Amino acid sequence: MYLLGVLVIALGIAVSIALHEVGHLLPAKKFGVKTTQYMVGFGPTLWSTRRGETEYGLKAVPLGGYVRMIGMFPPRPADGGRLRRATSNPFHQMIEQARQDSLDEVEPGDEDRVFYRLPVWQRLVIMAGGPLMNLAIAAVLVTLLLTVHGIGTLTPTVSQVAACANTDVVDADCAGQDPSPALAAGFQEGDTIVSVDGQAVTSWPETTYAIQNAGDTATFVVERDGSQETLTADLVLRERPLVTPEGEYQLDGAGEPVWGEVGFLGATPTFVYEPQPVSAVPGFVGDMFTQTARIVLTLPQRLVDVSQAAFGSEERDPDGPMSVVGVGRVAGDVASGGLGDLTQTTADRMWVLLSLIASLNMALFVFNLIPLLPLDGGHIAGALWEGLKKGWARLRGLPVPGPVDTAAALPVAYGVAVTLLGMTALLIYADIVKPITLG
């Protein structure tokens, strides 16, 4: 099962990358750009076939992909006819070489099929197509997850009754100890708590909040075998995190849970999956986007935390970034039942893996929108800047400027690429020596 989980997540990542590139390929072909390659992966080519003018293939390292479109970089901007002296600046040489390589791809008759000649809006559609495909994948998977499988929910139906007053364990040795309040009050497995001290409850968070504020003694109305019974429990005070009526932990000013002495019953709720209406999907997807964007925006600090954990004694943040190695490990843990109630059956485990693939696609969507080359967001930012310049020129009655010289940003692109490689290496090392473990 562990291996199956790794294989499922690997396949999910590969399909997500392939569809991301399809998001670029289809509009590029629609707008007439000549696309010479569609590749999933990097490095040596394992397999390829040609259909028309495009070569489709798989490469050895399945950690990305690309669609090669001719004319990604425009020629050097006009400089009034003045000749430029040859330069030994390596960055200038890099830029000029990229421009020349881009022009070399343009064969006779392809002059009007280059990327940089497209209207701004068409370039935006092409470059945004990849990230939007990942967003669509995440939305489809979330829709299936919510409406077909449902969200894991704790209900006020008792699944277990603790044996002792100081433990949640059912079969504990209670020699010399009092029985749990639930056992002493006569609770049985299958009882559904209807009210606590006259306050009606329909969910476990409401029940927990009512027990927390009940005092020393609480009166419960439970439904058992189609009829209602009243049970009175002498609660035991235990140090536990305080909760709100919605079931959320109460947090202090530092964002840490607030602890206090509250009533303990000793009845364990039942975990079930409850399907949700389609109307719940937009809010859920919006929350995924917000949480992912927060991680991306705080990525530098999170990488510092990962470094301190990998090379020191700090613990890994379970909500922090991880590499494909870490994702594979988590997928294996999920498939082998590492999430307890969440993965009771094989079907439950597959649904959790699908939710993990949905989260990965949301991460690809957000990360690729970063406005830096070589990410899609860098090309989008360049097209938007060109559109603003041309719009401003038209408003002022000035000559419309040419395409934005995106080749000039190549030094930044190479710096970003090196940074991404370093980040990947750090995360892989951390996922090996100090992996994130599931609770």
Residue 264 belongs to what H/E stretch?
Answer: strand 259-264
Closest CA to 126 of 22, 259, 56, 3: 22
Inter-residue contact 217 to 235 (CB < 8 Å): yes
CA distance 156 to 393: 66
Among the listed residues 21, 246, 248, 386, the single catalytic one is 21
Alpha helices in 105-196 (DSSP H): 120-144, 181-185
Alpha-carbon distance of 379 to 371, in angstroms, equals 8
**Residue (of 369, 355, 374) closest to 421 by Cα position:** 374
* Cα–Cα distances in angstroms (integers) from residue 149 to residues 235, 295, 358, in the given order: 36, 27, 14
- Establish whether 21 is a catalytic residue: yes
What is the Cβ-side half-sphere exposure of residue 282, based on CA atoms within 13 angstroms?
Answer: 1
Structure tokens at 60: 């050895």
Q: Would you say 146 and 280 are in contact if contact means Cβ atoms under 8 Å apart?
A: yes
Residue-wise DSSP of 206-223: HHHHHHHTS-SEEEEEEE
315 φ, ψ (degrees, to nearest 5): -90, 150
Active-site annotation, residues: 21
